[in-house]
Amino acid sequence: MEFQGNVEFAAPREVVWKIIRDPTTVAKAMPDFRDLVVTSPTSFTGSAKVGVSVIRGSFRFQFQIEEENPGSFLRLSARGRGIGSSVDIQTRVTLADGGSPTATRMEWKAEAQVGGALAGIAQRLLDQAADRTVRDIFTNLSRLVREGTAAGP
Amino acid sequence: MSAARTSPRSVAVPAPAEGTGWVGKSIPTKESVRFTTGHGSYLDDVKLEGTAHIALVHSPYAHARIRSIDVKEASAMPGVLAVYTGEDIRKLVDPFMQLAPPPADKVLDYPLAVEKVRFVGEPVAVVVARDRYLAADAAEMVQVDYDVLPPVMDAESAASPSAPILHEAIGTNRVWDGVYEYGDVDGAFAQADLVIQEKFHYHRFNSAPLELNAALASFDRRTGELTLYTNNVMPMFCMPLVASSLRLPSDRIRVIVPDVGGSFGNKINSFPYMVLVSVLSMQLGRPVKWTELRSEFLAAGTHGNERTFQIEAAVRKDGTLLGLRGEAFDDTGAYARYEPAGAVIWAQVAFSMYRHKNLRLHFHSVFTNKCPVGPNRGYSRAQHLFLYERIMDRIADRLGLDRGEVRERNFVRADEMPYQAPNGTVLDGGDYARALHRVQEMLDLPSLRAQQKALRARGRYLGVGIAAALDSAGNNFAQVRVINPHLPFSGNSESARVWMDMMGRVHVAMGPTNQGQGHETMASQIVAHELGLNPEDVHALPGFDSHSHPYTGHSGAYASRTAVMGGGALLGAARELRRRIQVIAAHLLKTAPEDILLEKGEARSRRTGNALPLSVIGGVALGNSLELPLDMDTNLSVTYVYRPPFRIPSHVDKKGNFTLTYSYQVHGAVVEVDPETGKVHLRRYVAVDDCGNMINPAIVEGQVIGAAVHGIEAALLCEAKYGADGQLLASSFTDYLCATSLDVPPVEVEHFITPSTAGPMGVRGVGEGGGTALPALAAAVEDALSPFGVTFQDSHLTPERIQSAMRGRAPTVPSPP
Amino acid sequence: MYPRPFEYRAVTTVDEALRVLHEVEDGKVLAGGQSLLPLMKLRLASPGVLVDISGIPDLSYIRPQGENAVEIGSLTTHDTVAHSALLQERCPILPAAARGIADQQIRNRGTIGGSSCHADPASDLPPTLLALDAEFSIVGPKGSRTVPAKEFFVDLFETQVQRDEILHHIQVPTLGPQWGWSYTKFNRREGDYPIVGVAILVRLDSHGRRLEEVRIGLAAVNPTPCRARAAERFLQGQEISPAILKEAAHRSTEGLHPGSDMHGSSQYRRDMVQVFVRRGLEEAVTRARLAGGNP
Ligand SMILES: Cc1cc2nc3c(=O)[nH]c(=O)nc-3n(C[C@H](O)[C@H](O)[C@H](O)COP(=O)(O)OP(=O)(O)OC[C@H]3O[C@@H](n4cnc5c(N)ncnc54)[C@H](O)[C@@H]3O)c2cc1C
């Protein structure tokens, strides 16, 4: 399952980069995130509640920055496990100059793979549920960037 | 053949004694009373004080390396007694013996995954807790970290050298590989008027026993004895595997099988779980129980062998099949737990019911990242029989001949029986063509064809499909030496014990476990028949217990064998007991043993009419024995082992008598297919079955109907389907669709009776049904849609598969005459 | 089949239910349990507190609301809906849809309120209620409100009913004699959730020739049950002909994003929507003509 989107922020690339590169931002963008532990400069862990409506469970995530080019590119993998299932998300975020000198355009692509109990039982709903979950995360992320940039450097 | 001409439903009985002919009677099954009134005692009904329960942690990945397993949190949860990983278990048990020859014999298979996971649902860790809820709670807390690897999801690509390897220890995904060649195959192709090329796929499915796998182990530290309760239906065959894995001498293991709620072969592969609960019980010093969840059964129980054929058929213009050649790929899943036996079992029916002499099949058994396969009703033969039936249809269609006529032309004829096929197997009687005719009659084929024509004119598509198949019963285990000449198995045997107590009551116990087929009734009928008793008065011991039941290494309920093999043992034991009773009675009645007739619970002198109740015989022999001469045998307990005459097949030319006896059946299906949706509506289903003499025709009928429905649901509803990423899609009953009574019309059954010339009592065995419904339905759907010119290569026909084959096609309108 | 730990509270009045839902942190209403309990047993759902409302006596009823409507209490079971003489007379599409749900045991337990609130896009009643323009009455801490069907279903498994509210009853209209209907559930096996479900209502002119109004509810093709608005608009006012129905069927897939599963890919579901909208329209028109005396 692949999802993508883009959004423009009224802030320069370095500012946006700093925010999205920060594990706490990622943590806040995830639904009901708890227990953030930064395990290395390029990895962190924590748990989040994933799912839609009543079908929802706690997953432990391991985040790993697989690749980065400060200010322009980030590849982040999130490997989650819970409720007899696995949720693996590979995300690529690209930052580029936006319409104005102080604006930044963020494009994201996410590839999600679900395994175990959820993959079988919820197959018909998986696309839709994953679509919604991933979109919510990026909506949150965008909001956090906006809030962060509004607060000023 | 005269018996075969008796009218359908009448039953021939081996010389029934007047008034006491219980063999051949449709008496209600004795055990059904306890099963239907809630008094059956299944494995989960066995309660032992202090039992601990387990929950398994499963792999969500099809293929991955286990990086680490963190059990700290789980171990600290309330009620948790212990948590074991595959690595922990590896230190406590030996890996399971492998049937395959090198290099696949080096595969390391343990009850839990070690180092790698190889299919979705594979157990990687186990939590032992006070109850199942706490165990399940803690299992969620076990943290497994994986490195995901690419999965291999079909046998053909798995066999390619570039495929990712499942078992690095052997460096290949090939479990077994070999060529079967009989006759002059290339000569046959040189003579052919037509060569048909096809690819067929026999899909993955299994069965739906109401009771799932389960095991309860109780290790007594005082005696060093392990009591293992299991619902494995071949427990004594598995015993060497279990004992050697546990490093226990077999005299320290007592096996008890209570009532079993269905198996269809699937439960034979439960030995890894038997070892798991046993080792946990030995470690923890208390009973440990496991009962499988349906999701576990579907993901990690046993699937039937999924097989792909790439095949060529050499055919003469008149529809005669001259030869077959090609390749078969068996997708055995991630471990070879009964495999690669499937790579030879099919050869029991290598030529199906047909006379052609030339066959070359390159058979490949290959590991893939799916659930391990193993016996499933019609094990390895249904796949092969499907190939034959589809080939017959193709021959007819390509040559513009009638599908029935082509079968008839190729069938082994009644006057050729017993018939030895080119690979040495012997078909022991039957009239295949007549069974086909009877099915055509039952369906009233001419009027069906008229109806089909009328409906087509209105845009409705009716179709009829007829298929035939063999059921082989009483396999010769030596056939596994074709795949591995060093395997220490051969022949087949079964054991039964019949004994009389002091009160003259008769008891019987035998090796095969009872999984609901009515074995207790069948045994009672045979013993009652021989001893002049009422089956109600014969006490058949339920279940199996290695301390009280006789057994051989072949014992078990599998391969349609119990009536044949168990029947032979029961007959032998009952007859010997009868002889001993006659001797004692003759002494007491002052007559000759031959003069003694056993009837209505009495031993009677035919000559004088004087009689003694059996209670007197039992009482004298066992309690008042000085009434008898000291040299007279007073042992009224007879154990008899039935062992049919087999030879060891040659592993070089792969020829031999692989099976004792064959039943056969012809099935006919009438379907209507909705051409817009692809949905198949089954309108009628008829079956003619010949399993030789029937001990209890009602039981036979139940087996025939059950096998038909099993095949129908496999063709139309059930598929153990995986996604390309290795996820099991049919992971619950929401998606693994078992048929209900609303999906299947009444199955109309008729019986032919051609007594077997090989099996005891003329019995041929029944139960598996050869998967006949799968080719019958594929044929019916093709027939319905013949105006569209679509054909199907798969044994599973989903509406979408049919609809997409139809897309863009318009029906050809028959031209006016 | 071993759910995570949960607390269980049985309530006997609506007020008590609302009070408990308000008090507890992680409460979830339990009605017939035929959707919630299977999810809990699979551990895919794990509410902290189950608030069992099935013992509230006054939520299970079917009664007339004047001449033009029927009110159905949220605890009314599928079986009761399937056999209601009043609904059969006034709103027969609803019993028809209820009859095809699962099996008898599940119909004995499952409720119309539970089916609506669970909002599984593949359920049979929600698209039917959408086509009927039903009204949903919700009670909560701030009193009660009524929500039209087109607003009720919000997203996948999500409705207007908030965590501390309960669905009280549903009101459906009386269908007059000029109305025709059909409910088609297409599945592989009897009683299963549909691969597609199509609820259709048509209102004809007095000659039985023209479509005055058409409503098409669809199941299992979007994150929520939905209406085939483009097809409905297209048909409104049209003279009935095979070509028109076919064209409408074609338009009925506009805006649909069906998910795929092993029983039907997204494309297959779209194809099936077309087949069953066309057939359903034909069936509904035939019924309307019979009812209106224009066979
Ligand atoms: C094997 C099986 C097959 C099925 N097949 C079908 C089918 O073919 N078609 C179909 O439509 N359905 C099917 N169902 C689902 C069935 O119809 C359920 O009854 C229904 O979806 C839920 O109703 P319930 O009363 O059981 O609700 P519950 O399971 O008790 O609750 C479901 C959800 O609704 C909430 N809820 C319930 N009542 C209220 C209320 N009054 N106010 C607020 N929230 C409430 C609960 O909190 C929960 O989140 C099937 C179910 C099973 C187990």
What is the ipTM for the molecules in this complex?
0.95
Q: Which residue of B has its CA nearest to A57?
A: B140
**Pairs across A and B, CB distance < 8 A:** 52
Q: How far apart are CA B687 and CA C239, in angstroms?
A: 51
Q: In whole angstroms, give the CA distance from residue B797 to residue B792.
A: 8
Residues in chain C: 295
Q: Are strands B80-85 and B123-129 parallel, antiparallel or unpaired?
A: antiparallel
Please judge whether C261 and B729 are an interchain contact, meaning their C-beta atoms are less than 8 angstroms apart. yes
Of B62, B723, B732, the CB nearest to A121: B732
A-chain residue closest to C47, CA distance? A54
Q: Would the CB atoms of C44 and A132 count as touching at under 8 Å?
A: no
Beta bridge partners of B667: B467, B687
Strand order in the sheet with B659-673: B461-475, B659-673, B680-690, B747-752
Asked if A42 and A121 touch (Cβ cutoff 8 Å), the reply is no
Q: How many CA atoms are closer than 13 Å to the CA of B608, on its beta-carbon side?
A: 15
Inter-chain CB proximity B740 and C271 less than 8 Å: no
Sign of the Cα torsion C96, C97, C100, C104 reads: negative
| Contact in structure between C75 and C54 (CB atoms under 8 Å) | yes
For residue B345 the two structure tokens come to 């079992």
Q: How many CA atoms lie within 13 A of B86 on its CB side?
A: 24
Put simply, the chain A residues between 86 and 145 with a CB less than 8 A from any chain B CB are: 86, 88, 113-117, 119-121, 123
- Kindly identify which residue of chain C lies nearest to residue A128, measuring between CA atoms: C223
Closest partner CB to C188 (pick from B137, B140, B799): B799
Facing residue for B727 by CB, picked from A82, A83, A115: A115
Sketch out chain B's domains with CATH numbers. Answer: 43-149+213-291 (3.90.1170.50), 493-642 (3.30.365.10)
**Ligand 1 centroid, distance to A115 Cα (angstroms):** 26
* Alpha carbon distance B271, B232 (integer Å): 8
Give B289 to chain A, closest Cα distance, Å: 21
Q: Are strands B225-230 and B253-257 parallel, antiparallel or unpaired?
A: parallel
Residues of A with Cβ-Cβ distance to B148 under 8 angstroms? 88
A95, A88 contact by CB (below 8 A): no
Q: Which domains does chain C have, with CATH numbers?
A: 7-52 (3.30.43.10), 61-173 (3.30.465.10), 180-291 (3.30.390.50)
Contacts of A78 in chain B (CB under 8 A): none
Could you tell me if B621 and B628 are in contact, meaning their C-beta atoms sit under 8 angstroms apart? yes
What is residue B9's predicted lDDT score, i.e. its pLDDT?
37
Closest CA to A112 of A138, A145, A83: A138
For residue C20, give both structure tokens.
């408990």
C45 contact residues in A (CB cutoff 8 A): 54-56
Q: Tell if the CB–CB gap between B727 and A83 is shorter than 8 Å.
A: no
Which residues in chain C come in under a pLDDT of 70?
none
Instruction: In whole angstroms, give the CA distance from residue C229 to residue B114.
Output: 56
Specify the length of chain B in residues: 817
* Min distance C279 CA to chain A CA atoms (Å): 25
Residue C212 burial class via C-beta count within 10 angstroms: exposed 0-12, middle 13-18, buried 19 and up: middle
**Could you identify the atom of ligand 1 that is nearest to the CA of residue C109?**
26
C120 CA → ligand 1 middle, Å: 8
Q: Quote the CA–CA distance of B469 and B353 in Å, as a whole number.
A: 7
**Nearest C-alpha neighbor of B724 from the set B152, B146, B307, B119:** B152
* Nearest CA owner, ligand 1 atom 39: C114
Residue ranges in chain B modelled with pLDDT below 70:
1-20, 813-817
Location of structure tokens 């186990």? B126
d(CA B638, CA B570): 10
Yes or no, beta carbons of B60 and A120 under 8 Å apart: no
Using CB distances shorter than 6 Å, the residues near ligand 1 are A 54; C 28-36, 38, 74, 78, 101-102, 106, 109-111, 113-115, 117-118, 123-125, 161, 166-167, 191-193
Q: Name the band, by pLDDT with cuts 50, 70 and 90, for residue A100.
A: confident
Of B120, B143, B732, the CB nearest to A116: B120
Which residues on adjacent β-strands are paired with residue C159?
C153
Give whole-number Cα distances, B14 to B3, B19, B22, in Å.
Answer: 11, 14, 10
Q: Taking the C-alpha atoms of C22, C27, C32 and C33 in order, what is their torsion angle to the nearest 10 degrees?
A: 180
Tokens of C179: 């109305």
For ligand 1, the distance from its centroid to the CA atom of residue C208, given in whole angstroms, is: 38
CB contact under 8 A, C156 and A52: yes
- What distance in Å separates the CA atoms of residue B64 and residue B387, rounded to the nearest whole number? 35
A102 min Cα distance to partner chain B (Å) = 41
Chain B residues at the A interface, defined by Cβ less than 8 Å, are 58-62, 120, 140, 143-145, 148, 295, 299, 723, 725, 727-732, 734-735
The answer to whether residue C120 neighbours chain B at the CB level (below 8 Å) is no
Between strands B225-230 and B680-690, the pairing is unpaired
CB B649, CB B478: distance < 8 Å: yes
Residue of C nearest to B724 (CA): C262
Which chain C residues have any C-beta within 8 angstroms of a chain A C-beta?
A: 28, 36, 39, 42-47, 118-119, 121-122, 155-158, 220, 223, 257, 259-262
Among the partner residues C39, C158, C261, nearest to A124 by beta-carbon distance: C261
Chain A partners within 8 Å of C257 (Cβ): 128
> Which residue blocks in chain C are alpha helix, DSSP H?
14-23, 36-41, 78-82, 85-90, 93-99, 104-109, 112-118, 125-131, 149-152, 229-235, 242-251, 266-291
Closest residue of A to C120, CA-based? A125
Backbone angles phi, psi at B79, to 5 degrees: 80, -5
> What pLDDT digit, counting tens, does each position of B674-715 carry?
999 999 999 999 999 999 999 999 999 999 999 999 999 999
- Provide the token pair at B363: 């058979």
| CA distances (Å), origin A88, targets A21, A147, B7, B692, B773 | 19, 28, 65, 58, 41
| B215 neighbors B290 (Cβ within 8 angstroms) | yes
For chain A, the residue count is 153
Q: A57 C-alpha to center of ligand 1: Å?
A: 20
Q: Which of C99, C188, C246, C250 is most worth mutating to test chain B (most B CB atoms within 10 A of its CB)? A: C188
Beta carbons of C156 and A124 less than 8 Å apart: no
CB spacing of C121 vs A53 below 8 angstroms: no
| Range in A54-58, A87-91, B401-405, B633-637 with the lowest mean pLDDT | A54-58
CB pairs under 8 A between A and C: 60
Query: Which of A84, A119, A123 minimises the CB distance to B58?
Result: A84
Neighbours of B808 (CB within 10 A): 7
Cα gap B110→B116, rounded to integer Å: 11
Distance between CA atoms of residues B154 and B160, nearest Å: 10
Tokens of C1: 């089949």
Pairing of strands B288-291, B214-220: antiparallel
Pairwise CB contact (< 8 Å): C156 & A129: yes
How buried is C78 (Cβ within 10 angstroms: 0-12 exposed, 13-18 middle, 19+ buried)?
Answer: buried
Cα gap A92→B417, rounded to integer Å: 71
Closest residue in A to B730 (Cα) is A120
Q: Is the bond leading into B103 cis (omega within 30 degrees of zero)? A: yes
Calculate mean pLDDT across residues A118-135: 86
* Contact indicator for B208, B488 with CB cutoff of 8 Å: no
Query: Coil, helix or strand for B756?
Result: coil
pLDDT of residue A151: 62
Residue C268 to residues B461, B724, C142, C261, C272: CA-CA distances in angstroms?
A: 20, 19, 45, 10, 6
pLDDT of residue B571: 96
Return the pLDDT at B550.
97
Please give the pLDDT value at position C258: 94
Separation CA B130–CA B123 (nearest Å): 20
- Residue with the nearest Cα to atom 8 of ligand 1? C193
- Which residue's alpha carbon is at the smallest distance from atom 10 of ligand 1? C123
In the structure encoding, which two tokens stand for residue A146, read together?
Answer: 């906006």
